[in-house]
Structure 1
Amino acid sequence: MDITNFPEDLFENNYTDTSDLQIANYEVYKHVSKNKINLNKNVFSFLLDGQKDIHFSNDIVSIDHTQSLLLASGNFLTTEIVGANSYSCLLFFFSQKNIKDFLLKYGHLFNPNDLNKAAASSPYFLIEKDNFIIHFINSIQQIYGLNQTISQKILELKFEEIMLYLADKYGQSFFVYLNSLLINERELSFKMVIEKNLYTSLNIDEVAFLCNMSLSTFKRKFIQVYQESPGKWFQLKRLNKAKKLLLNNKATPSEIYMDFGYDSLSNFSTAFKNEFGYSPKNIMKN
């Protein structure tokens, strides 16, 4: 079964990893069972129609359109059940930095002694939908309907709005949950190193060094997180990026092969042809 990477696969044509906050509408018209999700950011999942079942490594949660979830980054399986018309939800992605900034700004609202009582981090926080949250969802949809490239400034205000409301609604339990996400940040830090160096010329050994790991430990950790060997994963990602640049006439093979970690144009061309069935020169000819 294929793995779906969120938010990347939702923004496949114009995805950039520089935005901390992102909005996306997600809708399907048939049941999806045990879809493998690799969530690379935290996300508010505001369910609009249908039912969602999520199977985590140590828990299972089911919600309908009267509920929403804050999901921590990580891997899980989702079953999406179509409602009256479809399965649909509004997704509001945010980074660890957004959590840190929020806690720094509003730390005076919670009792730091309670944070020491925090249990192990849960992969989700259940949110009961009420009139405020319904109006919040509607406001996001109206803005998104007018302009799908919402500015980060507007998204920052909307993020702060929903976070403050949930802090008011759920009190200390919400702050404790947010803090637990930061405590369990090691895996996210690993992913950040991977994503930052995805389209560089660094080899696997060099990326492992940046992660403060031996090569063997890095490979084991990588397979645990991404369910694929690092060599194969990096090569496919980099070749697809190179292909996109060539298709858009933004570079020639001789200009970019070193940027993606190849020591010669010949090696790059061979890997490209093995993956796509034709050489990079053929793209330039077309």
Structure 2
Amino acid sequence: MESSLKTAMTIFKLPEDIPMDDEKQAGAVIFYDYSAPVLSVNANCVLSMNAISLVLSGEKTMHFAEKRVDIKADKFHFLSSGNCLVSMKLNNTVAFKSILLFFDNAVLTNFYLKYHRTIEALKTGPVTPNEPYLAFKKDAFIVNYIASLQLMFQSNRPPSMEMKWLKFEELMLYLLETYPDQILAFQSTKTNEFDDFQLKKVVETNVGNPISVDELAFLCNVSASTFKRRFSRIYGSTPSRWLVQQRMNMARDLLHQPSEKPSDVFYKVGYENHSSFTQAFKQTFGITPKEFQQRQNRPVNSLTV
């Protein structure tokens, strides 16, 4: 069996589904002071705009098509518009808080055009935009920049569009001068549908993550039926069967290491709970993970999928 899967996905579109009044929502640059509830949250998100997340507290995990990112408060993050999966790990004392800055592709293009002379002077060589995600360590400038935004939020009046543009340009100019190659490599566009090579990269990057077949299709920006059809053509198997085989082989290899315990292994191979992992392992190998470890003196190839 596959790990606990969602039968229907709720998809959030950002920033549209964030509760904001019309005045805050309007415009090509949006600032939002975000605070999550104090509980664990899993969500499927479509970013209709690019975003910068200035994390203040808490942690969350984001799955992009070809990358898993653990987001913490010591960094701030650039996210390209497109599909992603979000898992927030919160506790009873630390809520996830972040200042979100949304901007569309036209804003980024206008910024590059406005400061093209600065960009040409800073470029160290040809740059091909190919990074949908960037992360930077907070420094003294960023800490003070965040403080200035918090003061802006404390005002009784919402910031004007001119002020939002000014704050966006302030941040971008600082980053452009500090990290020119990384900023210029930021990819602000996304293809509508992945080719077979990209689909394989998405699948094989996420095989050890607790992601369902429907969520893999979501990351590939295709319907579940299209994903399953293309998957079967590429791999000669259904996604569910192939994922179980790969995850069980990963689990078997991990359990040959004395330091690994079944209670720790299940999450490393894409399962969300120990019981479903144990059930799948026993169905595959005929014994439980614990029994398997007790028989480690047997050859590795004596148990295969």
TM-score, reference length from structure 2: 0.55
Moved more, 105-114 or 166-175: 105-114
Q: Which protein is richer in helix relative to its size? A: 1
The structure number with the bigger radius of gyration is: 2
Aligned match of 1:106 in 86, 106, 115?
115
Aligned match of 1:66 in 56, 74, 85?
74
Which residue matches 2:133? 124
Q: Give the CA RMSD over aligned residues.
A: 3.0
Output the CA distance in 1 between the equivalents of 2:164 and 2:223: 32
Matched, 1:36 2:44: yes
Which amino acid in structure 2 is aligned with residue 23 of structure 1?
F
Output the CA distance in 1 between the equivalents of 2:46 and 2:21: 19
Which residue matches 2:101? 92
Which amino acid in structure 1 is aligned with residue 128 of structure 2?
A
Which residue matches 1:27? 35
Q: Deviations over 1:31-57 (max 9, x none)?
A: 334311111111110111111211011
Output the CA distance in 2 between the equivalents of 1:109 and 1:63: 31
Which amino acid in structure 2 is aligned with residue 144 of structure 1?
F
Which residue matches 1:82? 90
Matched, 1:53 2:65: no
Which residue matches 2:270? none
Aligned-partner SS, 1:69? strand
Which amino acid in structure 1 is aligned with residue 158 of structure 2?
T
Which amino acid in structure 2 is aligned with residue 34 of structure 1?
N
Q: Percent same amino acid at aligned positions?
A: 27
Aligned-partner SS, 2:135? strand
Output the CA distance in 1 between the equivalents of 2:68 and 2:157: 33
Give the number of the structure with larger relative contact order, counting CA–CA contacts within 8 Å between residues 6 or more apart. 2
Residue ranges of structure 2 left out of the alignment (5+ in a row): 1-8, 193-217, 225-305
Q: Deviations over 1:190-242 (max 9, x none)?
A: xxxxxxxxxxxxxxxxxxxxxxxxxxxxxxxx9x75969xxxxxxxxxxxxxx
Does the aligned pair in 2 maintain the 1:29–1:85 contact within 8 Å? no
TM-score, reference length from structure 1: 0.59
Query: Shift in Å at residue 29 of structure 1?
Result: 2.9
Output the CA distance in 2 between the equivalents of 1:46 and 1:33: 19
Which residue matches 2:286? none
C-alpha spacing 1:175/1:32, structure 2 compared with 1 (3 Å): same
Aligned match of 2:182 in 149, 155, 173?
173
C-alpha spacing 1:13/1:153, structure 2 compared with 1 (3 Å): closer
Output the CA distance in 1 between the equivalents of 2:158 and 2:105: 22
Does the aligned pair in 1 maintain the 2:62–2:85 contact within 8 Å? yes
Does the aligned pair in 2 maintain the 1:6–1:39 contact within 8 Å? yes
- Figure out how many residues of one structure are paired with residues of the other and give that number: 190
C-alpha spacing 1:64/1:148, structure 2 compared with 1 (3 Å): farther
Residue ranges of structure 1 left out of the alignment (5+ in a row): 188-221, 229-286
Which amino acid in structure 2 is aligned with residue 82 of structure 1?
L
Output the CA distance in 1 between the equivalents of 2:223 and 2:81: 15
Does the aligned pair in 1 maintain the 2:82–2:190 contact within 8 Å? no
Query: Shift in Å at residue 13 of structure 1?
Result: 5.0
Within a 5 Å distance, the mapping from 1:1-286 to structure 2 comes to 1-11=9-19, 14=22, 18-82=26-90, 84-111=93-120, 116-118=126-128, 121-147=130-156, 149-177=158-186, 180-181=187-188, 184=189, 187=192, 225=221
Query: Shift in Å at residue 186 of structure 1?
Result: 5.7
C-alpha spacing 1:162/1:12, structure 2 compared with 1 (3 Å): closer
